[in-house]
Amino acid sequence: MIKKLRCFFLCVFTIGLCLSTIPYHGLDSHAIAETTSAPVLPEISPNQTANMKLAFLGVSSEYINQISLMALLPQTVKQFADPNSINWTLNFSLVFYPFPDNASDSLRNNALYSEGSACFNITLLDKLLSQFQDVAIPECGYLLAFMWIPNATDHSWFYVQERPDLFLNRTDYFNGVPSKYWVFPPNFGGSRRALCFDISETMEASPTESLVTSVVAKLINNSLGDIFTDLGGSIDPRMIAADVQRYQNYTVKILWLNGTGEQLPLEQIQRSFEDLMPWTNWTVAIETKPADNALNDFIESRTTELATPLSYSAVLSNGSSFTIEAERNVEWNPYENSGENDPLNQYFFNRVKDYFGLTDLEDKSIIPVVLLQLHNDTAFGGGYQAGVSWFPHDVIIVAFQGSALTELGESGPLLLVHLLKHEIGHWVSLIHHSSVFDSDYPKIICSMRTLTNEFCSFCKDARARISYMSFYNATLGLLSKNQAKAAILEDELNDSLQSFYNWDYTKAVETVTSIYFALDTTPPNIINVLQTPPEDNVSPQDEVKVSATVTDGLSGLKRVILNYTNHNGTWSAIDMTSIEEDIWNATLPAFAYGTNVTYIIIAEDNFNNMITSQEMGLEYQYHVVPEFSSTTILAVFTALTMLAVALTRKNRSKRFS
């Protein structure tokens, strides 16, 4: 009898283990309302024309064979990566004028003389040419000016946008090698839609028609890549998402690790990017704190002693000088695969959420910047400062030798902010301009190549073109669902498209963004949140399935996220998947006995309207119970006890019968 009773207990216990949780019931999908087609709105033409005005100032037409020149130039160029590419037809025109006397006089009278050579002022030249109506920048196009400056032998050019007391006529030395980055090559431009080519040296030698025509053709061909500059998607397909980003408001979050707290002119960042993208608003926030021990230890493990110290020094025009040296160097390699596999970069790639307290890395309007200050004697990657921007990995990393900020006077903070601005430029998909500054290539006056506060007109055009196409195409997609709104907005959209074709890019983008963001200001709706097993019956081995009905009436859902915490101080996010029309599902992992779990649901639509279930007064919690709850154990124990008593009585009755 005892064996039978044990067997019965074992059967009951096995049945208990196999007790299924409450069955998961799917929710009925909502009926889809019928919609009618929107009016047919025009698509953006990928084939456009650029007027390329070639102005020869002081260069006679006898030196240019126009037929040969046209044969040496491309008739078309392609800009941007597919599917956002524009195919440009180049419409060249040529004009010939003497170099303006007042311009040559002004350049000579305001020249800077350095080491016996006259340096002409680029900013002054640009101002003088802008007043010369015969060489005005063409509508829907660019000006390329080829200059022979009279009576100006043995000259060069200089550019300094701000603080000439700090940067003009200054010499910087990197390990003893002198550099004068304020001195420019003879080919330059970009402050306006114009490039200037000083071919005086060619013209003062032994010019022939064939030679000058060949030189001009080479200069034009070498400059087209900078004029019709691409964005990041042409280099890395992952950057196409950066090309087409659609935001009105950006926040740069700088985490200054081991910072000494000097004042940085961060307002320059805000001004520069609002000038680059006038339809946006920028905020720059900075937090200074010590690096954690794990990071400091990791940096130390990547640091080596240098056999020969690295040195950087600068001698200003007033004779004052600064010098810093580095006896140690943090190993960092940004050149192999753009630094994607570098251990230090990967260290930060994996810690963006923790360092910046972010739960949604898909929101690229928040720009996380790690600003790492090293010891005063420690260089980074063989230099006193360096940086990398990794949009696909959600972070910008800038590191610098501490003494570069603390011992270089006022120029230290300015140089550091310039580097920050340059790397943030990559975040909005700007790329480097040509770095080949010999006689055949121009140097572009732009934060992506030069020490300046401004981005060039070519970058502004490129950024505006892609932004307009992104907003316009997204707006057409939304209006295809709403005939009434499409009819109302048809004229306004056509006006914006015409502004785009007329190269009035700021007006075009501002118009289409005002339409885009006004179409949908309502966040999604979250209802019918269910979990299996229920909140009072989750065991340690149980994964918890969560489902919710999430809807968005106009722009549609971009993503739905299940955000949870087990009260360890951090929140984790799981992307929910759509299993039916409006029903979204995700699974929480199993937790140990006694764990308290809280979760909320976050939904965002394609207009970046976001809502959380918590904002709707819905926050969900459960407590992980033993494999059998006390209620279940008591019920099973009571049932077994009663059964055992019954069997015992039955046994006794047989014995006495």
**399-429 pLDDT per residue, tens:** 999 999 999 999 999 999 999 999 999 999 9
CA distance 112 to 555: 58
CA distances from 178 to 60, 134, 172, 175, 444 (A): 38, 41, 6, 9, 22
In a domain, 386, yes or no: yes
Identify the residue with better confidence: 359 or 88: 88
Contact 381, 332 (CB under 8 A): yes
In a domain, 98, yes or no: yes
CA distance 118 to 104: 13
Identify the residue with better confidence: 93 or 18: 93
- Measured between its terminal Cα atoms, the distance across the chain in Å is 17
Q: Rounded mean pLDDT of 440-454?
A: 94
Residue 246, burial from CB neighbour count under 10 angstroms (0-12, 13-18, 19+): middle
* 541 & 609 share domain: yes
Last residue of a domain, one of 519, 546, 577: 519
pLDDT band at 41 (very low <50, low <70, confident <90, very high): confident
Total Cβ atoms within 10 A of residue 634: 11
In a domain, 441, yes or no: no
Render pLDDT for 252-281 as a digit per residue (tens, 0 to 9).
999 999 999 899 999 999 999 999 999 999
DSSP state of 138: P
Q: Rounded mean pLDDT of 346-358?
A: 93
CA distances from 149 to 116, 209, 373, 649 (A): 18, 18, 47, 122
* 636 & 585 share domain: no
Confidence (pLDDT) at 253: 97
* 609 & 529 share domain: yes
In a domain, 299, yes or no: yes
Confidence (pLDDT) at 555: 78
In a domain, 456, yes or no: no
**Greatest C-alpha distance within the chain:** 138
Confidence (pLDDT) at 657: 44
* 132 & 179 share domain: yes
Render pLDDT for 298-317 as a digit per residue (tens, 0 to 9).
999 999 999 999 999 999 98
Q: Which amino acid is at 301?
A: S
Confidence (pLDDT) at 446: 96
Residue 194, classed as helix, strand or coil, is: strand
pLDDT band at 376 (very low <50, low <70, confident <90, very high): very high
* 185 & 255 share domain: no
* 618 & 635 share domain: no
Query: Is 60 exceeded by the pLDDT of residue 19?
Result: no
* 155 & 168 share domain: yes
Confidence (pLDDT) at 337: 85
In a domain, 454, yes or no: no
Which string of DSSP letters, residue by residue, matches 477-520? HHHTT-HHHHHHHHHHHHHHHHHHHTT-HHHHHHHHHHHHHHH-
Render pLDDT for 132-174 as a digit per residue (tens, 0 to 9).
988 999 999 999 999 999 887 789 999 998 889 999 999 999 9
* 409 & 489 share domain: no
Last residue of a domain, one of 428, 462, 485: 428
Last residue of a domain, one of 204, 229, 254: 229
Supply the mean pLDDT for the chain: 88
In a domain, 571, yes or no: yes
* 201 & 85 share domain: yes
* 63 & 108 share domain: yes
Query: Is 60 exceeded by the pLDDT of residue 20?
Result: no
Percent of the chain exceeding pLDDT 70 equals 89
* 253 & 372 share domain: yes
pTM: 0.80
In a domain, 34, yes or no: no
Render pLDDT for 46-101 as a digit per residue (tens, 0 to 9).
999 999 999 999 999 999 999 999 999 999 999 999 999 999 999 999 999 999 98
> How does strand 321-330 pair with strand 525-532?
unpaired
Q: What is the 3-state secondary structure (H, E, C) of 509-547?
A: HHHHHHHHHHHCCCCCEEEEEEEECCCCCECCCCCEEEE
Residue 605 belongs to domain with CATH number: 2.60.40.650
* 417 & 296 share domain: yes
Give the chain's domain count: 5
Contact 157, 67 (CB under 8 A): no
pLDDT band at 516 (very low <50, low <70, confident <90, very high): very high
Q: Rounded mean pLDDT of 98-110?
A: 92
CA angle 448, 247, 504 (to 5 degrees): 70
Residue with tokens 């002198």: 178
What is the extent of the structural domain holding 195?
47-229
